[in-house]
């Protein structure tokens, strides 16, 4: 039998806040974290808006040498992991180090570092690069540095499955605990990809919103006037523990991570198939894995990117899985406020599901001013809503046809 896996700690930095409390407050208030790009001069770009971190002081979490040596996606992971471990009141030491692991996903890794290295190579004169140049860009170094910083000697990995990376990491981590390979896992997703290359690349795909004059209105999932996603940055880290281990040390338990579904569309590099059959299968697999009936789900944190096809096909997939019960579901896209954190999205949105269960509040989808007639579920428009959520799904879908879904449920002893 699988061992039960519970959530005992949460940590995040993201466009709405640099800790869980600030983030949750802003989210439930329906605030937008989207604004003009300040990371670089975007005046000549088609898209000039993003969800950037605000007032984040990295020197609270790394020293000046580390600040020069680490890409931001690593720093965001270190900050979020530190907060998650503190929230869990958990110290890693001789007694548990070998039974504590780390899996942190990232869709792109250190792309901003790679761009800076390319610029340095093009300067006249001898090429002088730091010996830390390559390690600062490797996607697995977020997990690596978290492991080193906190002394976690158990299983370590990095999922690189585009926008599904954070969810994929949490799913793999839950199975690692459930199957007995670790008792504690530090897991989630991180991304810091607001860079000229990334923004230009997604713009070339016509994937980004160009609502530059009203950034806070740009991300509008399920609205008929949606015109693309808004890129964001940040990290979400959760502490996963085996149930008896958590109970023995008297840990606060936020929720149980009970199910995980992972499928492939086998269809297209970037576009979902009509009806999103792969997404539907991943939701069904998560339900099956958890032993939860569709009627028990009260909330779905949708992938909801604010792109025309994704929002429509995700709606169709939800209807296919839940049938008549889909009318009773609360479905919201918090990307309407944070933007799309790419590989960091799954970690952050898992925190949303856990908090919704623990607090009895479902955050809204903002900017849903003119609902798409074909997107006709209850997307919790504009204002958060109180609801006793017994079980929730977190949907994330990535380039390459990856569909990853987590199922969280209220903890019952």
Instruction: Mark residue 44 as left, alpha or beta (left: phi above 0; alpha: psi -120 to 50; beta: remaining).
Output: alpha
Annotated catalytic residue, options 163, 235, 353, 375: 163
Clarify whether 163 is annotated catalytic: yes
Closest to 178 measured CA to CA, from 120, 296, 260, 79? 260
Q: Give catalytic status of residue 370 as yes or no.
A: no
Give the residue carrying structure tokens 């600062």: 136
Phi, psi of 104 (to 5 degrees): -130, 125
Please state, in angstroms and as integers, the Cα–Cα distance from residue 230 to each residue in 27, 193, 334, 337, 402, following that order.
16, 12, 12, 10, 20
Q: What is the dihedral of CA 237, 242, 243, 247, to 10 degrees?
A: -80
Structure tokens at 114: 């790679």
| Helix, strand, coil share of the chain (percent; to 5) | 35, 20, 40
Taking a C-beta distance cutoff of 8 angstroms, is the pair 49, 37 a contact? yes
Distance between CA atoms of residues 273 and 279, nearest Å? 9
Contacts of 100 (CB under 8 A, 6+ apart): 92, 150, 151, 152, 153, 154, 182, 183, 184, 185, 186
CA 124 to mean position of chain CA atoms: 40
* Cα(80)–Cα(52) distance, integer angstroms: 16
* 255-264 and 184-191 beta bridge pairing: unpaired
Q: Active site residue: 303, 353, 358, 375, which one? A: 303
Distance of CA 16 to the CA centre of its chain: 14
Phi, psi of 401 (to 5 degrees): 85, 20
Closest C-alpha to 48, from 232, 191, 199: 199
Q: Is 12 helix (H, G, I), strand (E, B) or coil?
A: strand
Catalytic residue among 276, 340, 358, 375: 340
Residue-level length of the chain: 413
The separation between CA 11 and the C-alpha centre of its own chain, rounded to angstroms, equals 12
Cite the active site residues: 163, 303, 340
């Amino acid at each position: 039998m699988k061992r039960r896996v519970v959530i005992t700690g949460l940590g995040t930095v993201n466009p709405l806040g640099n800790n869980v409390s600030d983030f949750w407050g802003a989210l439930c208030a329906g605030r937008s974290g989207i604004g003009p790009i300040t990371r670089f001069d975007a005046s000549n770009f088609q898209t000039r808006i993003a969800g950037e971190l605000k007032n984040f002081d990295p020197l609270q979490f790394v020293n000046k040498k580390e600040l020069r040596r680490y890409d931001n996606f690593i720093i965001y992971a270190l900050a979020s992991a530190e907060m998650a471990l503190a929230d869990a009141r958990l110290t890693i030491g001789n007694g548990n180090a070998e039974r504590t692991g780390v899996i942190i996903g990232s869709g792109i890794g250190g792309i901003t570092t790679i761009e800076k290295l390319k610029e340095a190579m093009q300067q006249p004169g001898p090429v002088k690069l730091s010996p830390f140049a390559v390690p600062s860009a490797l996607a697995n170094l977020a997990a690596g540095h978290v492991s080193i910083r906190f002394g976690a000697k158990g299983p370590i990995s990095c999922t690189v499955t585009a926008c599904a990376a954070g969810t994929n990491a949490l799913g793999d981590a839950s199975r690692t605990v459930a199957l007995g390979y670790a008792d504690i896992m530090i897991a989630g997703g991180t991304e810091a990809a607001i860079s000229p290359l990334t923004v230009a690349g997604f713009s070339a795909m016509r994937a980004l919103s160009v609502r530059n004059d009203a950034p806070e209105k740009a991300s509008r999932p399920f609205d008929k006037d949606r015109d693309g996603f808004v890129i964001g940055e940040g990290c979400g880290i959760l502490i996963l523990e085996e149930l008896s281990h958590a109970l023995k040390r008297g840990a606060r338990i936020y929720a149980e991570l009970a199910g995980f579904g992972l499928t492939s569309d086998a269809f297209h590099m970037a576009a979902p198939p009509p009806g999103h059959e792969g997404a539907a299968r991943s939701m069904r697999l998560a339900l099956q894995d958890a032993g939860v009936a569709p009627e028990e789900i009260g909330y779905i944190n949708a992938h909801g990117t604010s792109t025309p096809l994704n929002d429509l096909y995700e709606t169709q997939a939800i209807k296919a899985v839940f049938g008549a019960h889909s009318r009773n579901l609360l479905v919201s896209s918090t990307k309407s406020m944070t933007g799309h954190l790419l590989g960091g999205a799954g970690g952050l949105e898992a925190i949303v599901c856990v908090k919704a269960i623990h607090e009895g509040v479902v955050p809204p989808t903002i900017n849903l001013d003119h609902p798409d007639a074909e997107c006709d579920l209850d997307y919790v428009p504009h204002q958060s809503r109180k609801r006793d959520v017994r079980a929730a799904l977190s949907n994330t879908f990535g380039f390459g046809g990856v569909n990853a879904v987590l199922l969280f449920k209220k903890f019952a002893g």
